[in-house]
Structure 1
Amino acid sequence: MSIPVRFAPDVEKPAPDEAETIAGLNEQFRIILDKTSQDYGHAVRSVHAKGHGLARGRIRVHDGLPRELAQGLFADAGEYDAILRFSTNAGDILDDSITLPRGVALKVMGVRGERLPDAEGETQDFILVNGPAFAAPDPKAFLANLKMLARTTDKAEGAKKMLSAFLRTAEAALEAVGGSSTLLNTLGGAKPYHPLGQTYFSQTPFRYGEYIAKFQLVPVSGIRDFKDETINASGRPDAIREAMNELLVEQGGTWDLRVQLNTDLKAMPIEDASVVWSEEDSPFVTVATISVPAQIAWEHPESERTEDALAFSPWHGLAAHQPLGGVNRARKTAYEFSASYRGSFNGCPVHEPAGLSDL
């Protein structure tokens, strides 16, 4: 294995006009939130608005990790309470026949250590999606994509269903000749995979103590057999919640949390989130395991209440896991604004839980 690159502040190279771009992103998030809260009479997340399941369990940091992996949260063996939130990426609540990338947010509780700026509580969040590359390389491209998504928010659902079906066909044709499009998937061309069988990626880089890394979440129990399982959502607007409940009640789930260390800043850039880091040059290595006992993943209205009180952000956590790169820097104020907006509109303050008993 190549020698991992050591973290230094100068690995980040913000664009001169980044603050202006981030202000534009925040405005688009506000537009999405204003539209959806007016429609629903209730504020939902500006991205990944529809939750499909909440899974409570424990995360165990492995003992005996080599020095380069024993960093930050993973410096010492131990166990923590954890919750997983499964979702799809749109900023509005859509019929599940509109197929979008799957996401999972992991919150680890009871984590002590030096915190990131404005990070309250003792939690460490990981935000992951079932694809290795972010749909935009940098904040400017992120803003262009978000403007497109903001224009489609609140539009007729029937048109979105037709667009999704068309994009799935286009993506399938692209894959047939060995290609794939992150943007097509983001806009509704993703395959309707079962969320519990998917592998998830942080897509963006993070400080990893003395080093730099990306994260991956991989199913390792029986749920891994559902990797290629698709969900038929025809006439079933909440088909994903139904499928999540059926499988999680039956067998629970186990996932490995893995780390990919940066070994070459040119081949593994910090400021381009659309670049997939080579697993041949630096494979993902397991540092922790999450175990979730059999349970109900979604139960109305309890799950909605739990979601309202929770916020996930890559900026909730330890200084040792500082989010890196322009896309991550842009996420900080955007995620803070979204959580504050929801809490104020819904009259339900968002808080960082100390443990599962707080949920």
Structure 2
Amino acid sequence: MSLAGTYNTVKKALSAAPPSDAYLRWDAPGVESPKLNEEQTSRKIGDTMNKMQQHNFDKHRHTYRATHVKTQGIVKGRLTVLPALPSHLQQGLFKEPGKTYEVAARYANEPVFLQADQDPGPRGLSMKIFDVKGERLPDAEPGGTTQDFFFNNAPSIELTDIDTCLDVMQMREKYFDSPTKLAAATRLRIDGLKQVAPFQLPNTNMISHSFYTQSAFRYGEWYGHMGLFPVKGEMNERNEKVKSGDSREILRDWLADYFAKSGAKYEFRVNFRPDS
């Protein structure tokens, strides 16, 4: 391919204004088909996760989430919308190009236990964004002005559908006091390889991780996954691997050391489902 041809190919790939039919609409047939028992199953999942929270409270006499239990660090920051954001991306939180929001972010281990950092597993990052205006969900708190995002360093979710989610959560609750039995029961599942895949992720310094939403979300007329990707070179270089002789709190220590000397910078990206 000639130099001009290569340039045009790259320019087309990076076009800020793709055709309106390039992506699959959020309400296209087959995108989402709620099951007949979805509401009841959702309540069962909530009840099960409440039991997991009660287990942690009974054990530690402290209130913890049902998942992403172990906090590794909490930091303050800002989210700035690009000043020249393409029109198809100017939706909701990102509707006003150049606007900046205050953010509180939390790094955490994803599993239900207060595990030692030597134990591998998925890691999470959540963001609470402040002073967000706009239409809210019907059950949202009236007058609220915050929006939350939850990310995981596993690029795909092992909880394939709502029934799988209930099965896995009930299994985690049943074997809450025995990670060894939980791991064995997980491997015996038909989808065992998928369920244990997030625990095969490299157990490294969290500042070097990219993070992804596990589910797809509507974004304007389309839908897709969102992600946070490190853009400061030093973040990617801090990829030390946790060793057996390290402190059980080494991931927290590494984050504290990094933020004491430098700041983190991520790109917030959206990956739309193509209409093909």
Shared fold per TM-score greater than 0.5: yes
Q: CA deviation at 1:182?
A: 4.3
1:184 counterpart = 2:196: yes
Provide the alpha-carbon RMSD of the alignment: 2.4
Correspondent of 1:110 among 117, 126, 131: 131
Correspondent of 2:110 among 89, 95, 98: 89
- In the superposition, the TM-score normalised over structure 1's length comes to 0.63
Correspondent of 1:136 among 155, 159, 171: 159
Residue identity opposite 1:8 in structure 2: D
- Check the 8 A contact 1:222/1:253 in 2, yes or no: no
Instruction: Supply the distance in 2 between the matched residues of 1:125 and 1:140 (Cα, whole angstroms).
Output: 25
Report the 3-state secondary structure (helix = DSSP H, G, I; strand = E; otherwise coil) of the residue aligned with 1:76.
coil
Instruction: Supply the distance in 2 between the matched residues of 1:145 and 1:223 (Cα, whole angstroms).
Output: 37
Correspondent of 2:55 among 13, 16, 35: 35
Report the 3-state secondary structure (helix = DSSP H, G, I; strand = E; otherwise coil) of the residue aligned with 1:253.
coil
Q: CA deviation at 1:9?
A: 8.3
Equivalent in the alignment of 1:320 = none
Equivalent in the alignment of 1:48 = 68
Q: How many correspondences in the alignment?
A: 246
With over 3 angstroms needed to count, the CA separation of the structure-2 counterparts of 1:42 and 1:205, relative to structure 1, is same
Report the 3-state secondary structure (helix = DSSP H, G, I; strand = E; otherwise coil) of the residue aligned with 1:68.
helix
- 1:167-199 Cα offsets, whole Å, 9 max, x none, are 9xxxxxxxxxxxx9542144x443212111111
- Check the 8 A contact 1:71/1:210 in 2, yes or no: no
- Specify every segment of 5 or more residues in structure 2 that has no aligned partner in the other structure, as ranges: 1-17
Q: CA deviation at 1:238?
A: 1.0
Q: CA deviation at 1:104?
A: 0.5
- Specify every segment of 5 or more residues in structure 1 that has no aligned partner in the other structure, as ranges: 168-179, 268-359
- Check the 8 A contact 1:57/1:81 in 2, yes or no: yes
Q: CA deviation at 1:152?
A: 2.9
- In the superposition, the TM-score normalised over structure 2's length comes to 0.81
1:123 counterpart = 2:146: yes
Q: CA deviation at 1:95?
A: 1.4
Q: CA deviation at 1:235?
A: 5.2
- Check the 8 A contact 1:101/1:129 in 2, yes or no: yes
- Check the 8 A contact 1:100/1:185 in 2, yes or no: no
Equivalent in the alignment of 1:230 = 241
Instruction: Supply the distance in 1 between the matched residues of 2:114 and 2:207 (Cα, whole angstroms).
Output: 20
Instruction: Supply the distance in 1 between the matched residues of 2:138 and 2:106 (Cα, whole angstroms).
Output: 24
Equivalent in the alignment of 2:25 = 6
- 1:28-50 Cα offsets, whole Å, 9 max, x none, are 21221121110111120001010
More relative contact order, 1 or 2 (CA 8 Å, 6+ apart): 1
Q: CA deviation at 1:149?
A: 1.8
Residue identity opposite 2:163 in structure 1: K
Instruction: Supply the distance in 2 between the matched residues of 1:9 and 1:86 (Cα, whole angstroms).
Output: 35
Instruction: Supply the distance in 2 between the matched residues of 1:14 and 1:232 (Cα, whole angstroms).
Output: 44
Q: CA deviation at 1:227?
A: 6.6
Structure ID, larger Rg: 2
Equivalent in the alignment of 1:239 = 250
Equivalent in the alignment of 2:4 = none
Residue correspondence of structure 1 range 1-359 to structure 2 within 5 A:
3-8=22-27, 11-77=31-97, 78-120=99-141, 121-155=144-178, 159=180, 181-186=193-198, 188-226=199-237, 228-232=239-243, 234=245, 236-264=247-275
Identity %: 26
Instruction: Supply the distance in 2 between the matched residues of 1:230 and 1:75 (Cα, whole angstroms).
Output: 39
